[in-house]
Amino acid sequence: MADHAPDRRSVAGVPGRATLATVRLPLLLRLALALAAAALASGCDDLDAYATGPDEVYRGPVVGLVDPAVLRRGFTSEAALTLRFDPALATSLAEDEPPGVLSTSDGALTDVPLEPIVPLAHDVLGQYEIPSGDRVRNYVFVMRPSDGPLAGREPMVFMSLMGDGSIEVRIIAGGGSRDGDYFGLFRLIREPA
């Protein structure tokens, strides 16, 4: 019996019938992987678009200007929030470079760094969704103000990157029913610093 020589229809030297699907599968697989990599890369670029430059901030007023405010506790009705933010650092554990710094015009917060909550990187709560609005990504941070009325407390910050390029920030300290409790919803837009 003679040795079987591979014919032109063999795939990888294995005799048999080559079909269009078997020949193109590796090409289609490579194309799918390239498209997936491009989609992931563009997702990173989308979040990078929210990073403030050296001469930029996000700034906006507190919601609930009218007294008694339903959505505002502790912050004055004239309070505005200023944020510097880099989403690339939002899940970083590096303590020397926070993902953002917050200040309010009423003095409640002055250059307070945002701190990622390390266990949230391994918990589904770290991927929470708020049902309304066009939110691209949500984050949860803690702050440790060293001065002002929130000094010694650990307010929580819930941040939403919005599809229109703006950012919503909710700051919560306490339950909202006692003196000294804080709740503020701020809608921020990018501005020159």
Comparing 176 with 32, the larger pLDDT belongs to 176
Cα pseudo-dihedral 144, 94, 98, 157, rounded to 10 = -50
pLDDT at residue 51 above 60? yes
Do residues 66 and 127 both lie within one domain?
Answer: yes
- Would you state the pLDDT for residue 119? 80
CATH of the domain at 184: 2.40.160
Do residues 43 and 76 both lie within one domain?
Answer: no
**Taking the complete model, does pTM exceed 0.75, yes or no?**
no
- Would you state the pLDDT for residue 97? 87
- Would you state the pLDDT for residue 23? 45
Owning domain of residue 30: 1-48
Confidence band of 173 (pLDDT split at 50, 70, 90):
very high
Do residues 25 and 108 both lie within one domain?
Answer: no
Tokens (6 digits) for 16: 């048999």
Backbone angles phi, psi at 142, to 5 degrees: -120, 155
Do residues 98 and 9 both lie within one domain?
Answer: no
Q: What angle do CA 151, 152, 153 make, to 5 degrees?
A: 95
Do residues 27 and 114 both lie within one domain?
Answer: no
Comparing 127 with 28, the larger pLDDT belongs to 127
Do residues 60 and 36 both lie within one domain?
Answer: no
- Would you state the pLDDT for residue 32? 45
Do residues 98 and 56 both lie within one domain?
Answer: yes
Contact residues for 54 (Cβ-Cβ < 8 A; gap 6+) = 193
Is residue 173 classed exposed, middle or buried when 0-12, 13-18 and 19+ CB atoms within 10 A define those classes? buried
Centre a 10 Å sphere on the Cβ of residue 96 and count the other Cβ atoms it contains.
Answer: 5
Please tell me the total count of domains within the chain.
2
Do residues 151 and 170 both lie within one domain?
Answer: yes
Do residues 59 and 15 both lie within one domain?
Answer: no
Do residues 40 and 124 both lie within one domain?
Answer: no
Condensed to tens digits (0 to 9), the pLDDT of residues 107-134 reads 999 999 999 987 877 777 766 677 777 8
